[in-house]
Structure 1
Amino acid sequence: ASWRAQEPQGPERHQFLLLPNRDPKHRRINSPSEIAIMRNVVDGVNGDDPDIDYMWQRPYTPHQATGILFVAHGCKHSGTDWWPHSPQDCPECLGLPEEMAIVHMARDKGLVVVSASSTDRGLGCWNNGGDGARIAKVLQHLKETQDDLVSLPIYGLGSSSGSGLVGSTLPKALRKLRESSENGDQ
């Protein structure tokens, strides 16, 4: 059965996208001709923050996920660069070749791939002040809503300002979020 994007609803506000698999060498005999990409929206970190829109995809062998890879774009880019363009379901997705190759390789190695966009949509660079907490919340939300991902390690890959996010800002934000959860602050 074929299905298309659905409007986000309820507290999880998720959307399913079916986008064509444009990399035939990564197809499996038993895989569908299309790939399911989840698009979720979670509330911002503070009351005045905008909602956080993120996209993620399971590995080719979903029951054998080995970790979660957050991919962080560089300046002048966005989280939709990593996913295939679809005029109907994801018109803002660019499907940049190198980014999509990274997603395919990571999924082939058993990783769940996650992307989101920085708050600075003018320059597109990551903000060291608030974006780390936003992405930590995204990763926490993903783990909380997907039982099989709870104990998986989180990895990060970033280019340009994205490398600063995954190399410094995000680990600190994840640690702070974990400590506040352990102390019952949330």
Structure 2
Amino acid sequence: MWVFIFGDMTVFAILFGVYLYYRGEDPGLFNESQLRLNQTFGVINTFVLLTSSLLVVTAVRAVRRGAHVLARRLVYAAMACGVVFVANKAIEYGQKISHDIVPGTNQFFMYFYVMTGLHLLHVVIGMALLGLIVKLTRRPALTGREEGYMEGAASFWHMVDLLWIVIFPLLYLVK
């Protein structure tokens, strides 16, 4: 899992670097386009993902203490945060598309859709991995291997959160 996480983060790091390079090539276009984003969506998604990461950390600790029912509830709450993120992103995309702002609008929006879309895919995959944690919490005790699966799934979810912590300021805030 760690190899996958580091590989995934490397791909995003390259994407961030390319984005910053082209932003430097045409700052006027990127600044003007950025003004067409609604920062409220980004702030809500940041809060939702930070909350979900806290819930996942607490759930992993609960499993280690043997509080599987509590852990399951916490993971369900984290998954609900994931659903809120997906719904919020769908509303944001819908608003952009209704104003004819699509990936082909300009280079900024191409990067906006690629980065946020790729991140959204990771959120969905992460929610499936959180489902694995829910399944594991139904067992009375976990083997060492199962604990590794749980920690790997939690680490993936935290990577998704970390990526958003970079994507949000890059797209919504950096001038």
Range of TM-score over shorter length:
under 0.3
Between structure 1 and structure 2, the one with the greater Rg is: 2
Q: Per residue, is there more helix in 1 or in 2?
A: 2
TM value normalised by structure 2: 0.23
Higher relative contact order (CA 8 A, sep 6+): 2
Q: Per residue, is there more strand in 1 or in 2?
A: 1
